[in-house]
Structure 1
């Protein structure tokens, strides 16, 4: 197990400007409660993940990306064949969630780093969730919502980055049309 005591602790609810985040990215422990909850179309809720032991990655022009420990995952996930590469963290693996009472799985919207590089070794096997499941809730049979403490997060524009936007995160963010060349 990696000693994480030397990794900085994120401030709780301080206003932050994404243009002041570092490049290369930085890893922080977060004191916040992180949750992902699936709600079926009839209103039944299932906790997918719940933790106060997460990390967040900060990178210039991006809202924080949160990583939750494997022990916080309350439902089975299946690894998919999809992989991507991050120049800072290494090779990412992706996962599928089969929602209860749903006919369609949520595929490749959860990722992890089985062998992260450099300063990111503390997030080995931790899971990160896009702020939305990326499929219409009628087709999926429901929707997931992500929370930092009790605040439901907003979705980072585009479908490449997985940052979570809370009310204290400010600044023009990468991901939407016209932002790729920054």
Structure 2
């Protein structure tokens, strides 16, 4: 496995290789929208970004910034070594259902208490996500929920051959 080589960020950019481990939380004033089934299912100017080495940011929106009925709690859970146990939602919009496309931490670890009552969405599972009007590219691999924008440079975990990073 080859070692990743950090891309040098340009003006106004961040390198995901400068993000810490354990992750940090950044309160962002960016405008974030999530669309599914031709409908806007969430809009927020109060997202939190979780920043972890080698990963594009994952955006967490206040649950109240989702349209009523857009989130349906579903079965299943997972464990993050940093944040704790996640619970999942199906996302509903228009005539579509994105199964297990969103998650939350009902009782996050103390260092991540600020993400309580916030919901993250897998950008590849919905029609589109935008940050300040720019369309997000989903983090590769289908496992992580990172949002790739022009603001961040990699390389990013998730591409083939990156599992061991």
Same fold (TM over 0.5): yes
Per chain length, whose mean CA-contact separation is higher, i.e. which structure has more relative contact order (CA < 8 Å, sep 6+)?
2
Please give the alpha-carbon distance, in whole angstroms, between the structure 1 residues aligned to 2:67 and 2:135. 19
Alignment of structure 1 residues 122-161 onto 2, 5 Å? 122-133=114-125, 144-161=127-144
Please give the alpha-carbon distance, in whole angstroms, between the structure 2 residues aligned to 1:46 and 1:16. 31
Is 1:34 the equivalent of 2:28?
no
Please give the alpha-carbon distance, in whole angstroms, between the structure 1 residues aligned to 2:40 and 2:90. 15
The structure whose residues are more often strand, as a share, is 2
Q: Secondary structure at the match of 1:98?
A: strand
Q: Which residue of 2 aligns with 1:173?
A: 156
Please give the alpha-carbon distance, in whole angstroms, between the structure 2 residues aligned to 1:71 and 1:98. 15
TM-score of the superposition, structure 1-length normalised? 0.81
Q: Secondary structure at the match of 1:68?
A: strand
* Cα displacement (A) at 1:46: 1.2
* Cα displacement (A) at 1:71: 1.1
Alignment of structure 1 residues 9-20 onto 2, 5 Å? 14-20=12-18
Q: Note if contact 2:40-2:93 (Cα within 8 Å) is conserved in structure 1.
A: no
Alignment of structure 1 residues 37-116 onto 2, 5 Å? 37-38=35-36, 40=37, 45-76=38-69, 77-102=71-96, 105-116=97-108
Q: Secondary structure at the match of 1:56?
A: strand
User: 1:14-60, CA deviations, whole angstroms, 9 ceiling, x for partnerless residues?
Assistant: 2000111101100110010111012x4xxxx3111001111000000
Q: Which residue of 2 aligns with 1:25?
A: 23
* Cα displacement (A) at 1:119: 1.8
User: 1:34-91, CA deviations, whole angstroms, 9 ceiling, x for partnerless residues?
Assistant: 11012x4xxxx31110011110000000000000001100141111111000000000
TM-score of the superposition, structure 2-length normalised? 0.89
When the two chains are superposed, the root-mean-square deviation of aligned CA atoms in Å is 1.4
Provide structure 2 residue ranges, at least 5 long, that are not aligned to the other structure. Answer: 1-10
Q: Secondary structure at the match of 1:157?
A: coil
